[in-house]
Structure 1
Amino acid sequence: MAKNPGCFKPGLVPWNKGTNFSPPGSEHTRFQKGHKPATWLPIGSERVTKDGYLERKMTDTGYPPGTG
């Protein structure tokens, strides 16, 4: 008896290898150009971290700083 019967054996190919999953209708709910997430804040916005530090948003590009 195998240690873990739910695992693939070496060399076994899964039945769904090479297939793509795209639920019907999901094209309508994907991110679209010009839309921003509900959590987006403008540059210059400030927040206080749980450690008490004041952080100011300096760029929209994310990390690393100074890329945009």
Structure 2
Amino acid sequence: MNVIFVLTTTGEEVLEMVSTDVAGLLAAVQGESVTFPFGSYSYDFHNLDHYLEDGVYRQELVIYLK
């Protein structure tokens, strides 16, 4: 599934990735902090989006960070 990390305050997309372990990824980001080479953030909330692309329904997990 496509996973996007977004900053809650600005709406800026920080990272986009693909993961087959969404439950594990969500458990990991809900810990004390999420660290990237360019900064550390805290989990805020997440949203599962569904959209239609080329006639195929797709899912996208958006993880919001503060």
Give TM-score, length-normalised by structure 1.
Answer: 0.27
Whose radius of gyration is greater, 1 or 2?
1
More strand by share: 2
Give TM-score, length-normalised by structure 2.
Answer: 0.28
